[in-house]
Chains A and B, each alone.
Chain A
Amino acid sequence: MKMTSTDRILILLTALLSGYQIVVGIDGLGTVPITAYTIAFGALLVAMLLMLILGFGVLDSPVVVIVSTVIPLALALGLAWEHLASYRILYLLFTLVGFAAIIVTRSLPFRGKLPTFVLAVVHGIAGLTIFLLPSILAADGTMKPGFALVGLGGAMIGLGGLLLSFLKAGRPILPRETILKVLPGLFMLMTACFVAGFKLG
């Protein structure tokens, strides 16, 4: 499916917002959160640039599964490190092991449902962390209400990941054309929510 001018503008805006977040949005945090957020928004930025260059064809690449894992995993690690001090090491271990498991199950010819199971567990935990943690922190007053927008972004990244995963698995929830029509807008809204959430929170 050919990319429209609107799609291109939305993707460019997503890339610019990701760049903005890397440059000014995460200043003043600790080393691990800064590294984690830089990896997350950096992967998003490079992915958007490649999508601008290659069009939607880039979604057919096998690397998409890995990139779409890096973004939520790194975001979740940054959030957990900042706000769940007692689970820091555990979450870091989960991130490293989860990422390694996805690379291994996607690189080697595994039979059965193990690759899908690994993907679902890793994405599920990371997605829930990004959605629930900011929402709870904003609701109980630990963070300002605006921080809930990060959770909203988390819900959108979950939706985007779901749409892409099923599309890649050959069992799309929606027709491919519909998914591709929705995706640029979803990416832009998701990134805008993250940027606004971090700023207002």
Chain B
Amino acid sequence: MASFSLVSATGMLGSGYQPQSIDKAIALGAQMIGCDAGSTDSGPSNLATGKCHFSKAAVKRDVDTILTRAIAHKLPLVIGSAGSSGNDQGLDWLCGIVHELAREHGLHFRMAKIHSELSKETVLRHLRSGRTRPLAPFGPLTEQDVDEALHMVGMMGAEPIQAALDGEAQVVIGGRSSDTSIFAALPLMRGFKPGIVWHMAKILECGAAAVAVRLAPDSMMATLHEDSFDVFPMRDDYWCTPQSVASHTLYENADPFELVEPSGTLFTREAKYEAISDKAVRVSGSQFAPAKEYTIKVEGVRQRGYSTVILGGVRDPYILSQLDSWLEQLDKSIKIRIGHTVPGAKYEINTRVYGRNGVMGDLEPNKTVGGHEVMIMWDVIAATQELSHTIASSVGHLALHNPIPKWHGLITGLALPFSPGELARGPVWEFHLNHVLVPDTPTSLFPTEFEEV
């Protein structure tokens, strides 16, 4: 069996790479360029707003090199999870950038645009026919969950990308895709073993993240063989070691030996990692077990309200030594005051004390104030921005003058860094779905448009 080489431009489209890394990969025989553009790492806001984590300038620059090189060398280019979240707005945005570059460079190619946004009707249809399953630690999906969703996307497997390549698209822009599908789709079509392919894809999806010392994001290349694959970085000052490659299965997974894909599970427990040069590592031995049931993971967000934030610092050692009782007293004053100002209003106040447990919250084992000052953040969530502002301004004022027994008379116990003290944060969201759908077919949730650019 002939080998097959491919290159991952960078870990996340827009995070950057050296253009010469792509040239080097092509010179070394890369037959495909791939890049993951998405992540849920930065929280629910990308999916809620459809906006990309990175700027247009950063993404355009990253697309420029891979698009022009792919067209010049007649290589397929596969980008997944467009616009960070892969929802329709993110997908349109990235396709717009591809069109803009095509016009600027006078490029012509066939492009496939794979949608992954799910309508409420689609998800309800699966729910009502018993084709939704919860993932740990969640309970079953409900109609209310679907109703409350602002946006939902399905995370595609390799099949919609393969269908796009079968449809002779040279450039494939996918909505939400499993990071690995981007790199697995074409090699699986060429008949490489799934255990080898999915493990290779898991290493490539983060670009040069699996090198020993990564100074900045860059490209990574892999060559597939019948029973193994080799992985190596493009930058001269990067290198892989067996440990650096083995470690990458740890990254962003709960269980490093079992990676669940829509079509099955990759088992890496038996994988062998060996250095074959001072830069490259050969990996063999992973197994892929097809799933009994093909499933598509759903991501969804709902709005929780509007937020207004107050930040204030405390330096008084007497307040710091009795911070808990000071905060309890403040809570009581807030409840009374809000009860009078906006009777019956529903709101939530999240108070965080930086300098105590602001970073770890509930997980912090050490809840004492260690230093000579703290920053307190009050995050006030309510149904409208106006209501959240109304409540926050009372919170700020009460906190400012919240007394302690030590001082006799009106105090000002909070240093506000800003004027006005209330910071309007706008709408706030949360991920509220952690479920899979059993689709009619692996491609049924992912309508694809072809166009001649």
Chains A and B form a bound pair: no
Binding site for A on B (CB under 8 A): none
